[in-house]
């Protein structure tokens, strides 16, 4: 009887995980979608896929209030649609958020944070076993990220070389409204230069290296819209559309990996204070591909012994890594926290990280922040050697057990 109960539990667990997709179908549409918005009719025939996003707990930053608010975050769901018109590819996300958090540009806004979302693509995905690190890529494995945040129109003086227009509007010598209209002209100029929306594209090879693409070499568009429902949860809808080909990433007919991130402004979300998905495979509608790409990007290890994996993890990993509310590591700054590693990592990534820790090195903290706990060593050519030794002496079985256990390390879905 007990066995039956267990297997029932197991199958219900499967039923839950089966709802969340590890792949998305990109539907073909005939209309031009270069400027597609959240309400456009091109979305009508695209099926919606449920994606789980887990709280980023790899590193904890230094904002005390934010850390307290976010200490017990759960995984969240986003519902994703994808369409392509042959020239552009668009993703639409829908996610529940009971408060609309806008970061205003007025003087009172210094502790306001914005809701937002991002879509991440791997620049090179020819080898599904060597995808970029999920947290904004890794060295020599760049990603391109499109971000929109609910930040009000703001004026960014730098980058345009327009510092000289930053004059004091109270300066009655410069702005004597009874004599001239300089103040009105100045206001018009600021209005013209102000960024209307916080929409940005970045290239990145791991956190701290994220660099904004400001030269229009990656054409994209995005939109965010908050929907208040009296009958159900309030939610955001967001769209990001980019061209299928540019110098940062190219998509043809082959399936490709994509990842999503969400920020909750009410919880002071920004930067790493976010929920993010694992690499999800997007496949074009109706196109049969030769490769088994989807199953190579991520797969389960059904033969593995998770209990054995747990004790092996404790033995081999626990002295440096914290995970699953265990804090046995020498220091919380010693190594990436693995508490949600199962939520946002793929099986090949975990295997690679254990066997070849220097293949993908998580950039971690600013090197000055916790200087006693370097996660990597730099040589004169900028190559990073991970502080973690290679665990290549593990047997295949032990390795699978550990990875299978690590894949269970993730928060519940809210």
Partner 1 sequence: MSKRQLAMVMDLNKCIGCQTCTVACKTQWTNRNGREYMYWNNVETYPGTGYPKNWMDLGGGFDAAGDLQEGVIPHIEADYGVPWDYNFEDLAKGQQLTPNIEPTWGPNWDEDQGAGDFPNDNYFFYIPRICNHCTNPGCLSSCPRDAIFKRDQDGVVLVDLDRCQGYRYCIAGCPYKKIYFNPKISKSEKCILCFPRIEQGLPPACAQQCVGRIRFVGFLDDEESQVHKLVYKYKVALPLNAHKGTGPNVYYIPPTEAPPKFDANGNVIEGSNRIPHEELEKLFGTEVHAAIKTVKDEMQKRKETGKSELMDLLIAYQHSEMFRLDHNYYKSLENSKLAPLDNRYIKGKNTQKISYFKAGE
In the complex, which residues of this chain contact partner 1 (CB under 8 A)?
61-65, 67, 103-112, 142, 151, 154-159, 161, 163, 166-170, 198, 203-205, 207-215, 217, 270-272, 331, 333, 365-372, 382
Residue 322 Cβ vs partner 1, minimum distance, rounded to whole Å:
15
Task: Give the 3-state secondary structure of residue 257.
Answer: strand
Residue 341 Cβ vs partner 1, minimum distance, rounded to whole Å:
19
- What is the rounded end-to-end Cα distance, in angstroms, of the chain? 31
Residue 297 CB burial class (10 angstroms; 0-12, 13-18, ≥19):
buried
Nearer to partner 1, 148 or 347 (CB): 148
Nearer to partner 1, 45 or 371 (CB): 371
Residue 254 Cβ vs partner 1, minimum distance, rounded to whole Å:
24
Q: Rounded to an integer, what distance in angstroms lies between the CA atom of residue 10 and that of residue 6?
A: 6
Quickly tell me which residue has 């208040």 as its tokens.
228
Residue 206 Cβ vs partner 1, minimum distance, rounded to whole Å:
10
Residue 400 Cβ vs partner 1, minimum distance, rounded to whole Å:
34
Q: What is the DSSP letter of 221?
A: E
Q: Are 203 and 249 in contact (CB under 8 A)?
A: no
Nearer to partner 1, 136 or 304 (CB): 136
Q: Rounded to an integer, what distance in angstroms lies between the CA atom of residue 249 and that of residue 146?
A: 12
Nearer to partner 1, 19 or 174 (CB): 174
Asked whether the CA dihedral 358, 363, 368, 372 is positive or negative, the reply is negative
Residue 237 Cβ vs partner 1, minimum distance, rounded to whole Å:
23
Nearer to partner 1, 257 or 269 (CB): 269
Nearer to partner 1, 168 or 232 (CB): 168
Q: Rounded to an integer, what distance in angstroms lies between the CA atom of residue 343 and that of residue 223?
A: 27
Q: Are 56 and 337 in contact (CB under 8 A)?
A: no
């Amino acid at each position: 009887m007990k066995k039956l109960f267990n297997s029932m539990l197991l199958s219900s667990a499967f039923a839950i995980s089966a709802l969340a997709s590890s792949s998305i179908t990109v539907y073909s549409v005939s209309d031009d979608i270069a400027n597609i918005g959240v309400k456009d009719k091109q979305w009508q025939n695209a099926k919606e896929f449920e994606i789980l996003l887990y709280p980023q707990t790899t590193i904890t930053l230094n904002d005390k209030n934010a850390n307290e608010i976010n200490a017990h975050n759960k995984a969240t769901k986003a519902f994703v649609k994808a369409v392509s018109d042959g020239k552009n590819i668009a993703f639409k996300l829908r996610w529940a958020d009971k408060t609309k958090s806008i970061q205003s540009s007025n003087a009172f806004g210094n502790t306001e944070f914005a809701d937002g979302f991002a879509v991440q693509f791997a620049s090179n995905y020819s080898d599904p076993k060597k995808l970029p690190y999920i947290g904004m890529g890794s060295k020599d494995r760049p990603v391109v990220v499109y971000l929109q945040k609910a930040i009000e129109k703001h004026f960014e003086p730098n980058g345009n070389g327009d510092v000289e227009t930053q004059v004091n509007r109270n300066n009655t010598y410069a702005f004597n409204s009874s004599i001239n209209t300089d103040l009105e002209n100045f206001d018009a100029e600021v209005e013209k230069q102000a960024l209307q929306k916080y929409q940005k594209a970045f290239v990145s090879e791991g956190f701290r290296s994220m660099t904004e693409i400001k030269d229009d070499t990656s054409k994209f568009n995005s939109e965010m819209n908050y929907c208040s429902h009296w009958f159900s949860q309030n939610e955001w809808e967001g769209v990001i559309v980019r061209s299928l080909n540019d110098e940062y990433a190219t998509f043809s007919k082959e399936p490709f990996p994509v990842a999503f991130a969400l920020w909750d402004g009410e919880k002071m979300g920004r930067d790493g204070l976010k929920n993010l998905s694992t690499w999800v495979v997007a496949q074009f509608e109706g196109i049969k591909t030769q490769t088994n790409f989807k199953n190579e990007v991520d797969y389960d290890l059904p033969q593995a012994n998770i209990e054995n994996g747990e004790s092996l993890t404790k033995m081999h990993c626990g002295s440096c890594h914290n995970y699953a509310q265990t804090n046995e590591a020498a220091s919380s700054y010693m190594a990436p926290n693995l508490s949600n590693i199962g939520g946002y990592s793929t099986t090949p990534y975990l295997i690679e990280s254990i066997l070849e820790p220097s293949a993908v090195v998580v950039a971690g903290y600013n090197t000055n922040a916790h200087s006693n706990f370097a996660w990597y060593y730099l040589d004169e050519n900028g190559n990073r050697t991970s502080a973690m030794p290679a665990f290549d002496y593990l047997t295949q079985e032990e390795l699978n057990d550990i990875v299978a256990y690590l894949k269970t390390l993730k928060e519940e879905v809210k």
